[in-house]
Chains A and B, each alone.
Chain A
Amino acid sequence: MARRGDNSLTRALLPATLTLILVGLVALVFRVGAQGQPPVPTQSTESGTRPSRGSSTVQPLAFSHRLHVRERTIPCLTCHTYARRGPVAGIPSVQRCAQCHLTIAKDRPEIVKLLKYWEDKAPIPWLRVHDLPDYVRFTHKRHVLADVTCETCHGDVAGMDAAVQTAPLTMGWCVGCHKQLYAPTGCLTCHY
């Protein structure tokens, strides 16, 4: 047994050591608590800033929702075609962009970039803006068919150039709405 005050170095290092152990323990608890692996491990992604609530994003193309939605009055579902039919709304295919832009505004610098993707038959590596944890099973279809407007969750996209997240997308926020509208609130609705 070491005696109290025997070794000043030990005394000095102890709090640091203990902090490390505790950090480790708490980290372990956190890890155990973090559920829901993605069904398919995602590829490691490049570095870059994560688009988050309220912050604008540097996307590979300076696409403007404002221009398309507000000024040209194109409905959301024209491009996000799957929202009515499946769980994901779908980012428009490069083909869909090209369908219009092979004739419209061909000479703008961003469209030139877009058409380069189309010529290369390469997908545009957009950054995800609205991201739910992998243990949440959300379906656009049921919400769209229940006449929940896109703006309810995505905010005033028509007023944004690059889309940003405006709603918190937390469970409390989801459940608040579900309660108000008498939508199911059991855990199994979204977590299974």
Chain B
Amino acid sequence: MSELLDHVGRRTFLKLLGAAAPAVAAGACSSVPPERIIPYVIPPEDDVPGVATWYATTCQECPAGCGMRVRTREGRPVKVEGNPEHAINRGRLCIRGQASLQGLYNPDRIRGGRRREVTNASAGQSRLTNVAWEDALTSLAARIQTVREAGRSSRIAIVTPLVTGTLDRLFDTFAKAIGGARRIRYEPFGYEAIRTAGRIAFAREAVPHYDLARADVLVSFGADFLETWLSTVEYSAAFAEAHREQGTRRSRFVHIEPRLSLTASNADEWISPAPGTEMLVALAMVQVIVAERRTQVIQDADLKFITDLVASYSPDRVASQIGVPAAKLTELARLFSDPKAGPGRSLAIGGGVAGSGSNATALQVALNLLNYVAGNVGTTVRFGPDASYGRASTYREFAELVESMRAGDIEVLITHDVNPAFTLPAALGFSAALERVPFVVSFSNTLDETTARAHLVLPTHGPLESWGDEEPRAGVRGLRQPVIAARFDSRHVGDLLLDVGRRLGEEVSGALPAEGFYEYLRAEWRARYEAEPPASAATPGSTTFDDHWATALERGGAWNQIEPQPVMFSREVAKVSFDAAVINGPSDGLVLMPYASLHLYDGRGANRSWLQEIPDPVTKAVWSSWAEVHPDTARSLSAQEGQLVSVESPHGKLDVPVVLNPNLRPGTMAIPIGQGHTEYGRYAAGRGVNPITLIDPTPELLSGGVRWLSVKVRVTPRALYRPVLKLQSSESQVDRDIALAVSLDDVIAGRAQTAPGVEHRSLSPEHTHPEYRWGMAIDLDACTGCNACVAACYAENNVPVMGPEAVRRGRTMSWLRIERFVERRDPAATAVDVRFVPMLCQHCDHAPCETVCPVYATYHTDEGLNAQVYNRCVGTRYCSNNCPYKVRRFNWFQSEFPDPLHLQLNPDVTVRSQGVMEKCTFCVQRIHEGKDRAKDEKRPVRDGEVVPACAQTCPGQAIVFGDLNDPSSRVSQLAGSPRAYRIFDGLNTRPAVTYLKKIV
């Protein structure tokens, strides 16, 4: 450039500059293409363009069966929310539920039928090619017919997830009609131990309902109910309700697990036992309770029996094996059984994935004993409203099927929405056994590891495109209805079965009389309705089936209260041997704990970009796999943070980078499940490692479940560094007073208040807020750090996903993040003090960002919002530099939404383009909507009428939004709470967000 300027000189340069500008300006104006405006041919009834329509349906991301309400605009779903009426989740939704939209609009969905075509027979090469539906269905029916007519129907196997309700019935009917095909309801996290222990201790093989909301003392033996255990949203909400400060009362939660998981982080006390010894803790507690006569409502004979059974498990005897002081165990037992409180005031739960080993059933039996002696059975442990998990096939049944496949006894394998090639222990040999099956059909809409090996792939509708119902627990029947016409060339799996059935002759089609699955579903509901008309509470105001159906569709299903049924204690317990978990591998190796991931579950979430980009709640890592080890253990291995280590078990080997975690028991290694896909799509394939490849494939003896905790691994550091991408690298607040806490005693004594800071004066005139003044209150005591709000924000506000490379440079765009701080603690103490702080734009009254914007693109509105006007912003980034909360995000790139993900974008929110700043708006589009409605009804906005996406989904109800001008609003009252404080108050920014101190 300097060379050029040498020739030109200043005057010429300016002349040229003058000439250039109009040329550009002219070019910019003339090229706007004409736009077509396309009317409806026949307008849909009750649909107003630009106004949202909501539908109730049921989530299918895990077997919890939460109810959802889906917001659609012009026929496409743009946001899912919890259904406030639903019996399971009461309006809340977890991060996986929020991300279900990315399943519907997944860019890697299969867009039509595929058939395997041999390309080179001698080399055994083949590939999937397109196939027409008619050909595909004909060939499938012909295959089944051949096997059937030869009388070998038992050589057909159907593997589905834990489907419930009508679809389950249809699968069963189909399997029976074709002559008795084998059927597996496969759930990788099946909780077989819980139901087996129910049979052993109470002669009832079921997964009971746990009433966390009622428990004053909750002791969890590795049950990660805030992450993946059974029904996370329901149990998170119930826990938050019990754990909330109510005057002087607040429940106490003790978590027992070798690793400080997200659930453990929210406990009052965390006890870290040797892996696989949780059961001994429970038995020691039982021993103390019976020995000290602290039992409740229990027959003398049973008491005598239990006393004898646990006599040898006194705290003194087992303490050394557990690695926890005996006094601690005694204290815990006394806390758990308070005869003064009456029966049913405590609850013991257990059996998360990471802690399930060879004694998983023994642990559950011990917990049953513990709940029994404390008088909890029938009160906080309720048999009757049993979870559908009790109907899943056990892992052992699947292992037997794999054995049959290997032996060549399976001729046709039909899979639907399951991925055993990824989720089964690799050493079981599923992939090799699959090669022995001559015909594998996959009803699935994603090309996962299993589907990629199929001979015929028939794409099915996603849950949001489907009719269906779900029965997550007795008494709750959620309905599923399509909220969008099928996006791709796919069919409903029920329609496929019915279609195939029709091709198999009268005998089969006679058993499957329905035209399509919708008719089948309706007939099923009608039959049920006619057999026993539901109590009016289930679907109020319905007198005929059509009314009942319409009401159920509108409400999202029908449910009624199932009363707990009494169970009798069974002496079968004596047959259980209470030994610590068997963990095989090198004696000096580390105990491997593969744990279920809050985001990715069993791996099914890995191709959803939100779940990859939102940081893991504990490690804050994104887009990767990692192995957590204790710093002391790492030192003895000579491994450092970010260093790649070879992890070798008796069953497999993998390389993974190390993440140092001081809150993990030394001598163990924890690896999250979910990454390590070789197929499954652009966001998942080739990323991270799959720890399931390392574990022992032998089922647990009593329950037949997977032994997740089964191996020790030899760890060898390699001379390679692959630092894990983390969005927060320090757990320390560095004395900045971001997350404050107070003790319960201080709250009760009225000493929770922070001393008022120095009174600041402002040079500028104060803002006035004549009508509304929007504000938010966030209760750190209710926030569990579950990330649901973050995903809700991504969905509502069109926040782009940047990918790992951009994240590495700190260019994530999230408007809301959860900061995690761990207070320094005495390693011997059990008290937990982990603080999660949802951090978003604070909408300061004295906003540092506003004063530095040279173009007034950010300003304070008269409703107290800190506005960001995208079309004014020129991208100087001064505002971001001046923001002490670091909540402003700059668009370095033009964001991408690969087709069809762009259909998820919320039309009420501008998609920001390259070069502008963006940040939380307090969901201003929802404020507009609320004000619009209020204006229609000629009234002010009601408290609670405007709910931002983050507050809407929060399972713990930690976030409250409203008008600070209204002294009776909930947010005003919380802002005046003794626990209230504002972050960085000393800077005089006067935020509109009030935080409430955590109680520790």
Judged by DSSP, the binding face of A is loop
Q: Decide yes or no whether A109 CB sits under 8 A from chain B.
A: no
Report yes or no: B12 in contact with A15, Cβ–Cβ below 8 A: yes
Bound-state CA distance A91–B932 (Å) is: 23
A96 — which chain B residues lie within 8 A by C-beta? 43
Report yes or no: B903 in contact with A40, Cβ–Cβ below 8 A: yes
| Interface 9-mer from A70-78, A81-89, A150-158 | A81-89
Residue of A nearest to B39 (CB): A91
Known: A39-B798, A50-B33, A93-B43. A30 touches B8 (CB 8 A): no
Bound-state CA distance A93–B488 (Å) is: 26
Bound-state CA distance A49–B30 (Å) is: 11
Q: Decide yes or no whether B7 CB sits under 8 A from chain A.
A: yes
**Cβ of B75 to closest chain A Cβ, rounded Å:** 12
Known: A192-B921, A192-B924. A32 touches B915 (CB 8 A): yes
**CB-CB contacts below 8 Å: B11-47 with A:** 12-13, 16-17, 19-21, 23-25, 27-28, 32-43
Number of A residues, CB within 8 Å of B: 71
Report yes or no: B6 in contact with A2, Cβ–Cβ below 8 A: yes
Could you mark each residue 868-902 of chain B with 1 if its beta carbon is under 8 Å from any beta carbon of chain A, else 0? Answer: 01111111000000000000000000000000001
Bound-state CA distance A92–B17 (Å) is: 49
Report yes or no: B6 in contact with A1, Cβ–Cβ below 8 A: yes
Q: Decide yes or no whether B859 CB sits under 8 A from chain A.
A: yes
A192 — which chain B residues lie within 8 A by C-beta? 867, 909-910, 921, 924-925, 928
A122 — which chain B residues lie within 8 A by C-beta? 41
**Cβ of A34 to closest chain B Cβ, rounded Å:** 7
**CB-CB contacts below 8 Å: B848-874 with A:** 859, 861-862, 865, 867, 869-874
Report yes or no: B861 in contact with A188, Cβ–Cβ below 8 A: yes
Known: A19-B19, A123-B39, A127-B37. A30 touches B921 (CB 8 A): no
Could you mark each residue 23-43 of chain A with 1 if its beta carbon is under 8 Å from any beta carbon of chain B, else 0? Answer: 100110011111111111110
Report yes or no: A19 in contact with B20, Cβ–Cβ below 8 A: yes
B908 — which chain A residues lie within 8 A by C-beta? 39, 137
Interface centre among B37, B875, B925 (most CB of A within 10 A): B37
B928 — which chain A residues lie within 8 A by C-beta? 137, 192
- A50 partner, pick from B6, B34, B916, beta carbons under 8 A: B34
Report yes or no: A50 in contact with B32, Cβ–Cβ below 8 A: yes
Known: A18-B13, A95-B42, A135-B910. A188 touches B867 (CB 8 A): yes
Bound-state CA distance A31–B903 (Å) is: 24
Known: A91-B37, A192-B910. A35 touches B873 (CB 8 A): yes
Q: Decide yes or no whether A162 CB sits under 8 A from chain B.
A: no
Report yes or no: B41 in contact with A93, Cβ–Cβ below 8 A: yes
Report yes or no: A35 in contact with B870, Cβ–Cβ below 8 A: yes
- B7 partner, pick from A4, A26, A34, beta carbons under 8 A: A4
Q: Decide yes or no whether B957 CB sits under 8 A from chain A.
A: no
Q: Decide yes or no whether B905 CB sits under 8 A from chain A.
A: yes
B875 — which chain A residues lie within 8 A by C-beta? 32
Report yes or no: B910 in contact with A85, Cβ–Cβ below 8 A: no
A14 — which chain B residues lie within 8 A by C-beta? 4, 7-8
B865 — which chain A residues lie within 8 A by C-beta? 188
Q: Decide yes or no whether A90 CB sits under 8 A from chain B.
A: yes
- A18 partner, pick from B16, B49, B906, beta carbons under 8 A: B16
Known: A48-B34, A86-B48. A27 touches B41 (CB 8 A): no
Report yes or no: A39 in contact with B867, Cβ–Cβ below 8 A: no
Q: Decide yes or no whether B907 CB sits under 8 A from chain A.
A: yes
Q: Decide yes or no whether A10 CB sits under 8 A from chain B.
A: yes
**Cβ of A45 to closest chain B Cβ, rounded Å:** 5
Bound-state CA distance A50–B38 (Å) is: 16
Report yes or no: A126 in contact with B34, Cβ–Cβ below 8 A: no
Bound-state CA distance A34–B875 (Å) is: 11
- B49 partner, pick from A27, A37, A86, beta carbons under 8 A: A86
- B8 partner, pick from A18, A50, A139, A187, beta carbons under 8 A: A18
Known: A45-B35, A45-B36, A48-B34. A17 touches B910 (CB 8 A): no
Q: What are 20 contact pairs spanning A and B, CB under 8 A?
A: A2-B3, A15-B8, A19-B19, A26-B21, A35-B870, A35-B912, A42-B35, A45-B35, A50-B34, A51-B34, A82-B50, A90-B39, A93-B43, A94-B41, A95-B40, A128-B34, A141-B932, A186-B862, A186-B867, A187-B872
Given contacts A94-B42, A123-B38, 4 further A-B contacts (CB under 8 A): A14-B4, A39-B905, A45-B36, A86-B48
